Structure 1
Amino acid sequence: MLYLTLFICFISSILVTPLVKKLAFKIGATDKPNQRKVHQKIMPRLGGLAIFISFLIGYFLLQPTSPYALAIIIGSFIIIITGVLDDMMELSAKIKLSGQLLAALIVVVYGGVQVQYINLPFNGSLELGVLSIPLTIIWIVGITNAINLIDGLDGLAAGVSSIVLITISGMAIMMNDVFVTSMGFILLGSTLGFLLYNFHPAKIFMGDTGALFLGYMISVLSLLGFKNVTLISLIVPVIILGVPISDTFFAIIRRIVKNQPLSAPDKSHLHHCLLRLGYSHRQTVLIIYGMSAIFGLAAVIFSQVQTMWGSFLVLAILIFAIEIIVEKIGLVDKTYRPLLNMFQALRYK
């Protein structure tokens, strides 16, 4: 039934997306070209509504049970309303953040989705106490915005989200987590159906409706799959979401280095850097898909390593690889090359 529902969500998304495209033009939910945008013509947004409708169809067909389910669905409606309004009239950053915080509060306070403690190595335990609620909310809002930030090229956010969902669902199967597996597969089918229209050259954008919804759902599902676990396992969702998290992290570093406001837009995100290196639109998207798949594979390997030192070794290799890529493509700045400069100095000694 699970795989049949995934297929139904996939077909539903294929059938619903053209209808949403017509609706987007009718209500003015369109994206106009400017100096920061890659596209050259007016494009319909609101594609995330097709993902959401297909997701709801799958949810009511499969009816996965969990004490968290109702809160997640209520929160998703709030996120969708926020995204639709933003796609129509471009809400201020404060209003968008308010919608995200409200959705997160419902899931965390009403739904009880909280990381309350972390089991440390050597039989220790770290009780988060009063920090449990704010830290969980920060995670949900942070990942929601991280997915939104990578939505800069045709098919990029949808494809990366699909790879992340495959990883989360696969690991949920390994842990016999039926609810996370079901929700992940429903969302995966809905996103893949939409991706057929969104891959380059895109016929419709997912808009903030899609990016915020996918980010919200991924943040919650990753929490449910790995909550109240060991310190090592808590790193797994961070690795799975390596592409959006690292892009957001280095965007913050970049703005600090350049003395810019953290909310300042720029054209130095991962996809912008790859485009400047001469890769085509489609090549850039496929390269980032590959990066996301590598992060997903690394997360699976990391979770299966039996020793703490083995886990640290995998993590160290991953951090080293990220830093080299960041310096190579100029994600922080063209002059930011500490490791590469060190290797070059050692080479000529």
Structure 2
Amino acid sequence: MIPFALKYIIVVISTLIIAALATPLVRFLSFRIGAVDNPNARRINKVPMPTAGGLAIFIAFSLAALWFLPGIVTHINYHGTYFDYALPLVLAGGIIIVTGLIDDIKELRPLPKLLGMLVAASIIWVFTEFRFDDFKIPFGGPMIHFPPWLSFVLTILWIVTITNAVNLIDGLDGLVSGVSVISLTTMGIVSYFFLHDSNLFLTLTIFILVAAIAGFLPYNYHPAIIYLGDTGALFIGFMIGVLSLQGLKNSTAVAVVTPMIILGVPLTDTVVAIIRRTLSGQKFYEADRMHLHHRLLSLGLTHRGTVLVIYAISFVFSLISLLLNVSSRLGGVLLMIALVLGVLILSELIGIFGENRTPVLNLLRFIGNSSYRQESIANWKEKRILKRNSKK
């Protein structure tokens, strides 16, 4: 009798191998159907690159979720069988894959892409338990229960936000693939050891998705021979958004904060981009070259060095999320304060808020540098005098 753990390890390894074998075939297919990223002013690549790499990840994940795992998972819970649990995830993910694949071939406008995400997210809300139906206010707050209409809106908003946040950081070889492996692995550990209302199905699903992405990553790491494209970046972001919902609606406050910290890199980059563009008078959805990876490249880091730095930042976020789950309430609050302060300082140091927008660094300089403090006070007094005189 083969133990279940060994069977599952075999499934994970098989999923990784299928993704690795499918990727060269998907690369060939991408050239044939025109899913190719041609060089331009905003692109890193200098030659045409196939962009439907996410299809290989989806194929491996779907085979594992609908065929391999149902054959070894005989346990039935309130979701039914594992096949019943996984089928809506695969169907919704398939809609995202089709949407991304069409975009990689024809470059869809934002509205049709959004429509595909909305349809897929609606399937998740209707046919699964991945819903934003209640929320525990962190660090001592009450549990809030949402009516169905608000649960639907919040679920859709969360999934679409995470999907787009992950898609936004897809700017360098292996960036999204590596960051998602780190984030999902941490999410799997948290789901197994720390979630109050977790189930084994969630953990099993997370790690077969990790295996599918890991099988693709060697082809996508710099120098890449195939890109994720919107096919892959949207699919990975969508799945992370869906699977992280289990923590957001958990009854423990730390579990609510954990997925937000695990997704620190894409979420921080997205929030900062919105703030930066708003302050600059741009529309918040307009593309620019001020994302985290752009700024690190502009500081002189190599392509591979930039990716490794962002991997390290993602690992730090994940480590903090794990520490948060074993900390006291006071320790958790201090960790969160330190994390926010660290993110702000790093963002200002590398300039992703924009030129001359460094309020935290200016405050620290004011506190720790007497010359700067005296100069600032003198400038402030001078401005007050000028302002008073202008009113006379």
TM-score, shorter chain, exceeding 0.5: yes
TM bracket (short chain): over 0.9
Distance 1:43 1:123 in 2: 49
Cα gap change, 1:343 to 1:11, in 2 (>3 Å): same
Aligned to 2:55, which of 49, 52, 55? Answer: 49
Cα distance in 2 between the residues matched to 1:94 and 1:74: 21
Contact 2:97 2:234 in 1 (8 A): yes
Q: Which residue of structure 1 aligns with residue 377 of structure 2?
A: none
Task: Decide which structure has the larger Cα Rg and report it.
Answer: 2
Which of 332, 337, 340 does residue 358 from structure 2 map onto?
Answer: 337
Choose from 48, 62, 66 the match for 2:69: 62
Matched, 1:316 2:316: no
Aligned residue for 2:115, secondary structure, equals helix
Residue 102 (structure 1) aligned with residue 119 (structure 2): yes
Partner Cα separation in structure 2 for residue 119 and residue 252 of structure 1: 26
C-alpha contact (below 8 Å) 1:17/1:47 kept by paired residues: yes
Residue 29 (1) aligns with residue 35 (2): yes
- Alpha-carbon distance between aligned partners in 1 of 2:48 and 2:281, rounded to the nearest angstrom: 33
Greater relative contact order (Cα 8 A, min sep 6): structure 1 or 2?
Answer: 1
1:285-300 maps to which residues of 2 (within 5 A)? Answer: 285-300=307-322
RMSD: 1.5
Query: Do the aligned residues in 2 keep the contact of 1:169 with 1:184 (CA within 8 Å)?
Result: yes
Runs of 4+ in 1 over 6 A off after TM superposition: none
Does structure 1 retain, via aligned residues, the 8 Å contact 2:169–2:175? yes
Query: Is the CA contact 2:143–2:251 (under 8 Å) kept in the aligned structure 1?
Result: no
3-state SS in 2 of match to 1:304: coil
Query: In 2, distance between residues paired with 1:223 and 1:168?
Result: 11
Q: State the distance in 2 between where 1:122 and 1:76 align.
A: 36
Asked if 1:224 corresponds to 2:224, the answer is no
Normalising by structure 1, report the TM-score: 0.96
Cα shift at 1:247: 0.3
Q: What SS does the aligned partner of 1:126 have?
A: strand
Which residue number in structure 2 is paired with residue 127 of structure 1? Answer: 145
C-alpha contact (below 8 Å) 1:5/1:61 kept by paired residues: yes
Q: State the Cα distance separating 1:153 from its structure 2 match.
A: 0.1
1:151 aligned partner? 170
Task: Report the residue type matching 1:220 in the other structure.
Answer: V
TM-score by length of 2: 0.86
- Quick one: which of 17, 32, 54 aligns to 2:23? 17
Identity of aligned residues (%): 43
The one-character-per-residue Cα deviations of 1:253-293 (angstroms, maximum 9, x if unpaired) are 01101111122111110000000000000000000000001
Q: Which residue identity does 1:335 align to in structure 2?
A: N
- Name stretches of at least 5 consecutive residues in structure 1 with no aligned partner: none
Cross-structure match for 2:385 = none
Deviation at 1:127, TM superposition (A): 1.8
Does 1:262 pair with 2:284? yes
- The 3-state SS of whatever aligns with 1:118 is strand
String of CA shifts for 1:310-337, please: whole Å, max 9, x gaps: 2211111100000000000001112111
Which residue, out of 216, 219, 237, partners 1:197?
219
Q: How far, CA to CA, are the matches of 1:186 and 1:174 in structure 2?
A: 18
2:186 equivalent among 156, 167, 174: 167
Conserved? CA contact 2:140–2:253, under 8 Å: no
Gaps of 5+ in 2: 1-6, 74-80, 371-392
Greater CA drift, 200-209 or 59-68: 59-68
Contact persistence 2:33–2:105 (CA under 8 A): yes
- CA shift, 1:123, in A, is 7.5
Q: Distance in 2 between matches of 1:135 and 1:71?
A: 19
Whether the 8 Å CA contact 2:99–2:113 is kept in 1: the answer is: yes
Q: 1:114, 1:136 within 8 Å by CA — same for their partners in 2?
A: yes
- Asked if the contact 2:178/2:311 (under 8 Å) is kept, the reply is yes
* Alignment CA distance shift 1:174-1:30 (3 Å): same
Q: Counterparts of 1:249 and 1:226 in 2: how far apart (Å)?
A: 19
Identify if the C-alpha distance between structure 1 residues 108 and 328 changes in structure 2 by more than 3 Å, giving closer, same or farther: same
Number of residue pairs the alignment of both structures matches:
348
Task: Tell me the residue number matched to 1:284.
Answer: 306
Equivalent-residue separation in structure 1 for 2:289 and 2:232 (angstroms): 21
Tell me if the contact between 2:348 and 2:358 (Cα under 8 Å) persists in the aligned partners. Answer: yes
Distance 1:240 1:223 in 2: 12
Secondary structure at the counterpart of residue 194 of structure 1 = helix
**Are the equivalent residues in 2 in contact too, given 1:68–1:113 (CA < 8 A)?**
no
Q: Which moved more, 1:175-184 or 1:146-155?
A: 175-184
SS in 1 for 2:325: helix
| Residue of structure 2 equivalent to 1:78 | 95
